[in-house]
Amino acid sequence: MKITDLKIFVVGNPPPHFGGRYWVFIKLTTDGGVRGYGEVYSVPFHPNVVVRMIEDVCERHVIGADPFKIERLWRTIYSSGYTQRTDVSIMGILSAVEMACWDIIGKEVDRPIYDLLGGQIHERLRSYTYIYPQPSDPGDVYSDPDLAAERASQYAAQGFTAVKFDPVGPYTVFDPRQLSLEALDRSEQFVKRIREAVGNRCDLLFGTHGQMTAAGAIRLARRLEPYDPLWFEEPVPPDNVPEMARVARATSIPIATGERLATKYEFARVLREQAASILQMALGRVGGILEAKKIAGMAEAHYTQIAPHLYCGPIEGAANIQLDTCSPNFLIQESIQTWGEFHSEILDQPVQWEDGYIIPPTRPGLGVELNEAVAEAHPYDGAELHLEMSGTPADT
């Protein structure tokens, strides 16, 4: 079996853009007509540039390759151009290629991917959602603790057993920083109000985006501890693992991190330093499904759990579900609300979500197919990137 064709889809995610402004999908097709889908996560260039990067990688290394030879293809792309080190651009492309190869393999042998990586453990997968704004909101759910608490209660009524929120304030290119007293007070009020609203029906996931220095994160953590959050996410930027470990040692709240990391090598540093007890790999960046499975195995040996990140399209989401289903140390999966609206429309069949849990698919491969007609009907024509940081230093 050989890969003979590549097709790329750059899809504009309609408003309100939950999951990012656009998604980049690939389709690989074999000489036997088997097709596999993958998703590139948040390469820091305009998608028009990313398309050419994907084409170059696939022309050099993928077309003509055997999709069953995952390790050989992974090492070849990872080492391209004598880099052989973690780079989120090449890793995003490699992740999509690897994901598509697994989709092909699963379809060829007529099994879900999780059956090829140890077999199904979990019959259903606990999920959480961010607290997202709604058009009818009377205020800003990101800065109004009472509104956030009301929305959290609504998610709990839907069946969610965990909700995530980031009230710290903007993340900027000048982070990390010390938070103002106003930001500390607002963050504490968010946790207090949401805990009062949901009681013990929901875990509270305190999401941040690396805004704080270690000293600032420790100050905030002490305010949050009385409300027992399940985690404190990426309290410092991801490039200084010892400082994250300093936060972990100073608080009883579990530290979660990983959405901006790639490969087993970067996650190994987190585990060696005991910087986090929950790993949030993004499968469209980390190196694909097998690389994530290796990281999950490393984490298992450290009594560390996985909670894969999802702020992208549903092809990466489907890959997450395959990993979760066969991983003993799976904790919880990020969902974008209930996997509905455009996240459902762009698939041939929506991800099954029931009462706060994802039901793993039994179809072969990833278990979902991209609706190519929908993808092609929603091209991205904007100039902005998938996610962007503020260019102005924060004053809170």
- Interval 277-299: pLDDT, tens: 999 999 999 999 999 999 999 99
Residue span of the structural domain in which 153 resides: 115-366
CATH of the domain at 277: 3.20.20.120
* Among 60, 87, 110, residue at a domain's last position: 110
Query: Considering the domain boundaries, does residue 198 fall inside one?
Result: yes
Please pick, among 17, 122, 302, 309, the residue that the annotation labels catalytic.
309
> What's the 3-state SS for the chain?
CCEEEEEEEEEECCCCCCCCCEEEEEEEEECCCCEEEEEECCCCCCHHHHHHHHHHHHHHHHCCCCCCCHHHHHHHHHCHHHCCCCCHHHHHHHHHHHHHHHHHHHHHHCCEHHHHCCCCCCCCEEEEEECCCCCCCCCCCCCCHHHHHHHHHHHHHHCCCEEEECCCCCCECCCCECCCHHHHHHHHHHHHHHHHHHCCCCEEEEECCCCECHHHHHHHHHHHHHHCCCEEECCCCCCCHHHHHHHHHHCCCCEEECCCCCHHHHHHHHHHCCCCCEECCCCCCCCCHHHHHHHHHHHHHCCCEECCCCCCCHHHHHHHHHHHHCCCCECCEEECCCCCCHHHHCECCCCCEECCEECCCCCCECCCCECHHHHHCCECCCCCCCCCCECCCCCC
Query: Considering the domain boundaries, does residue 165 fall inside one?
Result: yes
61 is an active site residue? no
Query: Considering the domain boundaries, does residue 382 fall inside one?
Result: no
Query: Considering the domain boundaries, does residue 90 fall inside one?
Result: yes
- Interval 161-185: pLDDT, tens: 999 999 999 999 999 999 999 999 9
Tally of structural domains, the chain:
2
pLDDT at 283: 98
CATH of the domain at 87: 3.30.390.10
Please pick, among 46, 122, 209, 386, the residue that the annotation labels catalytic.
209
pLDDT tens for the chain, 396 residues long, are: 999 999 999 999 999 999 999 999 999 999 999 999 999 999 999 999 999 999 999 999 999 999 999 999 999 999 999 989 999 999 999 999 999 999 999 999 999 999 999 999 999 999 999 999 999 999 999 999 999 999 999 999 999 999 999 999 999 999 999 999 999 999 999 999 999 999 999 999 999 999 999 999 999 999 999 999 999 999 999 999 999 999 999 999 999 999 999 999 999 999 999 999 999 999 999 999 999 999 999 999 999 999 999 999 999 999 999 999 999 999 999 999 999 999 999 999 999 999 999 999 999 999 999 999 999 999 999 999 999 999 999 975
302 is an active site residue? no
Indicate if 71 and 120 belong to the same structural domain: no
Query: Considering the domain boundaries, does residue 378 fall inside one?
Result: no
